[in-house]
Amino acid sequence: MSKIAKAVRKIARADRKATHRAAAHRDTPAVKLAGAASEVADQPPLLLLGVGTIVVGAVLRRPTVIRNGVRMLASEVLATAIKNGIKRSIDRTRPQKAIETGEHRFAPGKSAAHGDTSFPSGHTAGAVAVAGAIAHDTPAVIAPAYAVAAGVAAVQMPRGKHYIFDTVAGAAVGFVAQKATSMILRAAEPALVRLFKRTR
């Protein structure tokens, strides 16, 4: 076995050990409460947030607010698409299931079972994507936006939902999705501005 392979296995073992230790608290009231709060980063709430922002911007006739809503919505949609693509090609046992069964798998696969789709963290991906979208148009809230995203990621280990590496990968997915969305919107913005002016 190469040095790189040994290092990867060592890191993977440390990831599992640390996460399983954190997940021992998954049934405590504090973790359950924090976990429930982190559901704001699930797909439906984030999509609703984007659509709601667009509607508010349209009612107030504020192009900046509309643009922010579009960025949030598109970033979440792209992050979800990337995340789903990865989940469909890689199986990873969720921490809670691994603790209960004593078995852990992290390898290429196509299982659709919830207990086998730990990698990557969709909640983290969505939270980071939307936080980046919000911060892009409203730099003043960059700190609280990313603080919320970090909180969503951090609670996934105590909940037994994801491993540390799952949340890191999810954050990377969210970051890439938001950056790609911003590039696309920057190119499409002149056409969107013309469309908005015609509807006034």
Token pair 């984030």 is found at 46
Task: Give the per-residue pLDDT at 2.
Answer: 76
Q: Which residue would you say has higher pLDDT here, 2 or 56?
A: 56
Per residue in 184-197, pLDDT (tens digit) is 988 877 766 666 56
- 26 burial type by CB count under 10 A (0-12 exposed, 13-18 middle, 19+ buried): middle
Per residue in 65-85, pLDDT (tens digit) is 999 999 999 999 999 999 999
What is the radius of gyration, based on Cα positions, of the chain? 19
Name the band, by pLDDT with cuts 50, 70 and 90, for residue 200.
Answer: low
Are 196 and 65 within 8 A, CB to CB?
no
Residue 26 phi, psi dihedral angles, 5° rounding: -65, -20
Strand partners, 92: 106, 117
| Angstrom distance (rounded) from CA 64 to CA 68 | 6
Per residue in 76-116, pLDDT (tens digit) is 999 999 999 999 999 999 999 999 999 999 999 999 899 99
Per residue in 165-186, pLDDT (tens digit) is 999 999 999 999 999 999 998 8
Q: How far from chain centre, in Å, is Cα 48?
A: 15
| Angstrom distance (rounded) from CA 67 to CA 119 | 31
**pTM of the complete model:** 0.89
Sketch the domain layout of the chain as residue ranges.
3-199
Could you please state the CATH topology (level 3) that the domain comprising 3-199 is classified under.
Answer: Vanadium-containing Chloroperoxidase; domain 1 (1.20.144)
Are 156 and 123 within 8 A, CB to CB?
yes
